[in-house]
Chain A
Amino acid sequence: MDGTIAPIELVNSGAEAVLRALKAQGVDVIFGYPGGAVLPIYDALFQQNEIRHILVRHEQAAVHAAEGYARSTGKVGVVLVTSGPGATNAVTGLVDALMDSIPLVCLCGQVPTHLIGNDAFQEADTTGITRPATKHNYLVKKSEDLVRIVHEAFLVARTGRPGPVLVDLPKDILITPAPYCEPASTPHRSYHPRTEPDPRRIEEAVAMLKCAERPIIYAGGGVINAGPEAARLLAEFTRLTGFPITNTLMGLGAFPASDPLFVGMLGMHGTYEANLAMHGCDVMLNIGARFDDRVTGRLNAFSPGSKKIHADIDPSNMNKTVTVDVAIVGDALATLKALITAWKKDATPSNRPALARWWEQINVWRAKDSLRYTQPREPGSVIKPQYAIEQLYKATCGRETYITTEVGQHQMWAAQYFKFEKPNHWMTSGGLGTMGYGLPAAMGVQVAHPNALVIDIAGEASILMNIQEMGTLAQYRLPAKIFILNNQYMGMVRQWQELLHGSRYSSSYSEALPDFVKLAESFHAIGLRAEKVEDLDRVIAEMIAVDKPVIADIWVDQKENVFPMIPSGAAHNEMLLGPGNRDGSGPTVTNEGMALV
């Protein structure tokens, strides 16, 4: 207690108290689906106009939509679902947000407190089920705790390493009057994430970077999460040092892709130059990334000769998989500020001649042009998926464009060939790899940015996982575009089967596909199709021009694979390059590698 007695105001119902708390938290939209246990909240929503409710068609989509909203705005996304199946359907989305550190608050109905544990209708042990699926969760058992818990949920979701927080709301709590209080001005009892980096670690890092002969900056989603100012400072620091920089899948847009210091994405499907620079560097500065297995490849061969500096807001990411020499715990924004100041203050000149030699080497790798592909131009030629992304990029790069993706080959091609200049414009399921993410995420982005061009780059298999959300696009007149790279295969599964399982395409062919043009039309959207190379630009132009939701079904080469590729269990310098770019045979996959995903 801080000694002052706050006036306690009793609100008519818990449901109204919840909405008032949401308004105090700055919430203007929630994504949800009604049901018995949350009817009181829906009733309260009906009687007000400040918070907009977007009715989805499946609870998983509500969570992904809230993720899209959160990632494109930097705000906390809010989800409202009912008890039992409403909650269990939301679980995939919650884990997705947990893995990608996306701030969400999921309000969930629950059976009344006196029925909890009785196997009541639509009862599930939601806090039990979602405990490992959230950053934190709460079951409200007393009306006195209700508003405090809702406010606390927002605090936990957006601070520290962001993540999803679930609040389970028994129906009796929602209909009983509840006291209202403003968000606490005092610090939380036990939760105090560290955001300011230790100045000694910053000095050590700068000393190490100043002496570097072959440095690299490796920046991830933590920079995006720290806000646009962090991305601006990342660019400032990188240009100050003249070091090469690579981004993770989650970090795309944290540094402008058009800048010559950018060597592309790294990791399993990263560029040749990014991966070889990571492998051969002598000092690595990781800001806001977590040495994910898609990035490191075989751990004992990961960047073997380098000193490693790791800046991350989550202390549990330190030395988790890769042992580092300097661990800086802090927010990416605060860390970059401190690094810039310390770099300017440290009078030691950086090793410019060595850096110039390092760039010469990187440019040799760059000249390999590892993303090269050949698109035959004669009319009637089949469209290469890489070409489709490049043409989409060219047609949209002058506009405010947000890209979401599903998961698979199309996602990797989007990451490789679409160039992101700004943060918060790229939404993809990185950690969990959730097929079905892109359409609902695009919905959430479009709700947040009604006048922007929002495109879900999809595959024909992924899109069917949440295709019901076409109904939501129609209902709210959300003109999001779905750009399907249709190769009639679960392409990434097919690629692994080709490379690792003797081309035995077990259950990876997309049999019995719908007619996507007719499917779009049945959902009050526009359906377009490009079958040959000469159709592509026209379809893209038409898709962009029309102010309605569109499905563009782009028929692409069925046999195309994503290259470069670091096969499972291989190291960064054991990349498999595309056809026409190989010198000799690629790396072979070991038995150990076969067990990896």
Chain B
Amino acid sequence: MSDTTLRSATISVLVENESGVLARVIGLFSGRGYNIDNLTVAPVERDGSKSRITLVTSGTTMVIEQIKAQLDRLVPVYKVLDLSEGPHLARELALIKVIGTGEKRAEALRLADAFRARVIDATTESFTFELTGVTDKLDAFLDLMRPLGLAEVSRTGVAAIARGVKTIS
């Protein structure tokens, strides 16, 4: 009867920047059994009064509509925007530490160049790269680094925004 195919959705939520607001959002997902694939949060107003949460989630269309409605009824939520309903941009940043010497080290640097990753720290045995892009690009780069001495990764999660003049507020 209902559509059972899963889809991914990128949802931006503008919230009052108060203590507990992230717990409310996360509690909603754990309490109702929804998935969180990716989550970022940071203040976005100059006075620090509002924060923007970007969530990447997956589910059936019915579940994703539920998620949006449930988020929207939280008292400190200003706006819920499903970016995946239209053209949008999504970026993630990763800091990637690769440890190694010799040819592997040289190969890591060449690939970093091809991916436009920046070297932000280096020793004779290591590089730390900064890479920005869509999640797939970061995943692809990390796959390449794995045999070359990938030692540690720190990722920010996805920040996303609609294309064109459309805004969340």
Residues of A at the B interface (CB closer than 8 Å) are 127-128, 131-132, 135-136, 139, 141, 156, 160-161, 189-191, 193, 300, 314-316, 318-320, 323
Are B75 and A191 within 8 A (Cβ)?
A: yes
Q: Beyond the given A160-B73, A323-B62, please list 6 additional residue pairs across the A-B interface where CB-CB is below 8 A.
A: A136-B75, A190-B16, A190-B75, A190-B78, A193-B73, A323-B2
Q: With contacts A316-B70, A323-B1 known, is A132 near B16, CB below 8 A?
A: no
- Nearest CB of B to A146, in Å: 15
- Nearest CB of B to A117, in Å: 12
B87: which A residues are within 8 A, CB to CB? Answer: none
Does B149 reach chain A (CB closer than 8 Å)? no
Distance A156 CA – B74 CA, assembled complex (angstroms): 11
Q: With contacts A135-B75, A190-B75, A190-B78 known, is A319 near B65, CB below 8 A?
A: yes
Does B69 reach chain A (CB closer than 8 Å)? yes
24 contacts between A and B (CB under 8 A): A127-B20, A128-B23, A131-B24, A132-B27, A135-B75, A136-B74, A139-B20, A160-B73, A189-B16, A190-B16, A190-B75, A190-B76, A190-B78, A191-B76, A193-B73, A315-B69, A315-B72, A315-B73, A316-B70, A316-B72, A318-B69, A319-B66, A323-B2, A323-B62
Are B27 and A131 within 8 A (Cβ)?
A: yes
Interface string of B52-86 (1 = CB under 8 A from A): 00000000001001100110111111100000000
Are A320 and B75 within 8 A (Cβ)?
A: no
- Nearest CB of A to B115, in Å: 40
Does B102 reach chain A (CB closer than 8 Å)? no
Are B27 and A316 within 8 A (Cβ)?
A: no
Which of A132, A161, A190, A191 makes the CB contact (< 8 A) with B31? A132
B76: which A residues are within 8 A, CB to CB? Answer: 190-191
Which of B31, B69, B77, B78 makes the CB contact (< 8 A) with A316? B69
- Nearest to A304 among chain B residues (CB) is B1
Task: Give residues 1-44 of B contacting A (CB, 8 Å).
Answer: 1-2, 15-16, 19-20, 23-24, 27, 31
Distance A187 CA – B108 CA, assembled complex (angstroms): 57
Distance A320 CA – B65 CA, assembled complex (angstroms): 9
Q: Interface size for chain B: under 10, 10 to 19, 20 to 34, or 35 or more residues?
A: 20 to 34
A316: which B residues are within 8 A, CB to CB? Answer: 66, 69-70, 72-73
Distance A320 CA – B1 CA, assembled complex (angstroms): 14
Residues of B at the A interface (CB closer than 8 Å) are 1-2, 15-16, 19-20, 23-24, 27, 31, 62, 65-66, 69-70, 72-78
Distance A145 CA – B41 CA, assembled complex (angstroms): 25
Are A319 and B73 within 8 A (Cβ)?
A: no
Are A131 and B23 within 8 A (Cβ)?
A: yes
Distance A193 CA – B27 CA, assembled complex (angstroms): 21
Which of A135, A190, A193, A300 makes the CB contact (< 8 A) with B1? A300
B75: which A residues are within 8 A, CB to CB? Answer: 135-136, 156, 190-191
- Nearest CB of A to B7, in Å: 16
- Nearest to B70 among chain A residues (CB) is A316
Which of B19, B23, B69, B77 makes the CB contact (< 8 A) with A190? B77
Distance A320 CA – B77 CA, assembled complex (angstroms): 20
- Nearest CB of A to B63, in Å: 10
Distance A136 CA – B75 CA, assembled complex (angstroms): 7
Are B73 and A314 within 8 A (Cβ)?
A: yes
- Nearest to A127 among chain B residues (CB) is B20
Distance A316 CA – B16 CA, assembled complex (angstroms): 21
Distance A132 CA – B27 CA, assembled complex (angstroms): 7
- Nearest to A314 among chain B residues (CB) is B73
Distance A139 CA – B19 CA, assembled complex (angstroms): 9
Distance A139 CA – B69 CA, assembled complex (angstroms): 25
A160: which B residues are within 8 A, CB to CB? Answer: 73
- Nearest CB of B to A461, in Å: 29
In the A-B complex, the 9 residue pairs with the smallest Cβ-Cβ separation, listed nearest first, are: A316-B69, A136-B75, A190-B78, A315-B69, A191-B75, A316-B70, A132-B31, A190-B16, A190-B76
B74: which A residues are within 8 A, CB to CB? Answer: 136
- Nearest to A160 among chain B residues (CB) is B73
Distance A502 CA – B31 CA, assembled complex (angstroms): 34
- Nearest CB of A to B2, in Å: 6
Are A131 and B20 within 8 A (Cβ)?
A: yes
- Nearest to B69 among chain A residues (CB) is A316
A323: which B residues are within 8 A, CB to CB? Answer: 1-2, 62
- Nearest to B28 among chain A residues (CB) is A132
- Nearest CB of B to A421, in Å: 33
- Nearest CB of B to A342, in Å: 25
Distance A141 CA – B18 CA, assembled complex (angstroms): 11
- Nearest CB of A to B21, in Å: 10
Distance A235 CA – B76 CA, assembled complex (angstroms): 37
- Nearest CB of B to A584, in Å: 29
B16: which A residues are within 8 A, CB to CB? Answer: 189-190
- Nearest CB of B to A134, in Å: 10
